């Protein structure tokens, strides 16, 4: 865990400041395995693979996702005896059903599978046109265009998936914080940033409930996340606290209706929470690859907003 990440984090119970409680494994100046504790209520959160697990009940999380957490550490070469001991220490006493991350698709997405289409057929020509549209006006191009040429002090990316946007955002800021409920997603997205000039750190957290420091980000990016949340308004309220005054909030979704009959639902919800909508693009193509014979095409709505204070 990068030392500067502490400035972004807050106690998930009382919003108090966190400090290093236990240091089992370090690399250079980074905490790899250990724990953080609240200076006020003394509750603790584990750090695994350099990533703090900032969920409401980290013990229940680690007991339920034990195998997924450990396999994610193995995949990134971050597994160790101290990590295993910490997982079992926090998960001890919990009797929960075993769960697994629902993001195994990210490996294929990161690999950019190519459809098996005979060249010169209408299908291959149509797909080529979609790929070109995706490259020139798709999700990544749209997010970067909405961000403009501004270089940010800090960006929080929520729901990075396989890290398709992450290295592009890392080129636009000094500090990038990746937030996802899956440790695998966070670690893969960090890896995707490679040798980016920005300092990159990750946090495991629930987008609807994650407590972070106020005014800690000059931009927040959430691609194709808001429609997956049970209570999207909770996430939007959190973003309004994280953003500095006039900071940019950029989000996209294939379902701006949020389960209603109106495609204006997301926009209206944001306005009710005092976001000022600065830009909107609809019909943004997004091709999601699963395998050589299975891909999905979505049409996204993308919004850029700032918080009114």
Domain 113-307, classified CATH 3.30.70.920, yes or no: no
Q: Tell me, what's the pLDDT at 295?
A: 79
Q: Tell me, what's the pLDDT at 109?
A: 58
What pTM was computed for the model? 0.93
Paired strand residues for 306: 276
Q: Tell me, what's the pLDDT at 123?
A: 79
Q: Tell me, what's the pLDDT at 107?
A: 56
pLDDT along the chain (309 residues), means of 10: 94 93 89 94 95 97 96 94 97 92 60 70 83 85 94 96 93 97 95 91 96 96 96 96 94 95 94 94 88 84 90
- Give domain limits for the chain: 3-91, 113-307
């Amino acid at each position: 865990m990068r030392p500067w990440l502490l400035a972004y984090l807050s106690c998930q119970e009382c919003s108090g400041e966190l400090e290093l409680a236990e240091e089992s494994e370090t690399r250079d100046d980074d905490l790899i395995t250990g724990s953080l504790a609240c200076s006020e209520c003394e509750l603790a959160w584990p750090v695994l693979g350099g990533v703090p697990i900032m969920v409401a009940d980290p013990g229940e999380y680690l007991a339920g996702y034990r195998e997924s957490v450990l396999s994610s550490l193995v995949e990134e070469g971050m597994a160790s005896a101290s990590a295993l001991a910490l997982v079992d220490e926090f998960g001890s006493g919990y009797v929960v059903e075993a769960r697994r991350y629902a993001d195994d698709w990210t490996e294929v997405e990161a690999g950019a599978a190519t459809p098996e289409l005979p060249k010169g057929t209408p299908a291959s020509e149509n797909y080529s046109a979609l790929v070109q549209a995706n490259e020139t006006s798709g999700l990544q191009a749209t997010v970067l265009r909405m961000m403009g040429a501004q270089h940010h002090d800090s960006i929080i990316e929520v729901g990075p998936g396989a890290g398709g946007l992450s290295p592009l955002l890392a080129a636009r800021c000094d500090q990038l914080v990746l937030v996802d409920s899956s440790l695998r997603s966070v670690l893969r997205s960090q890896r995707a940033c490679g040798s980016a000039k920005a300092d990159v750190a990750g946090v495991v957290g629930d987008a609807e409930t994650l407590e972070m420091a106020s005014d800690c980000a000059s931009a927040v990016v959430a691609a194709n996340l808001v429609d997956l949340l049970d209570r999207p308004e909770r996430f939007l309220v959190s973003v309004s606290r994280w953003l500095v005054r006039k900071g940019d909030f950029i989000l996209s979704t294939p379902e701006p209706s949020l389960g209603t009959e109106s495609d204006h639902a997301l926009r209206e919800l944001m306005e009710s929470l005092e976001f000022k909508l600065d830009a909107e693009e609809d019909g943004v193509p997004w091709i999601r690859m699963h395998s050589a014979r299975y891909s999905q095409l979505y049409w996204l709505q993308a919004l850029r907003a700032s918080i009114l204070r």
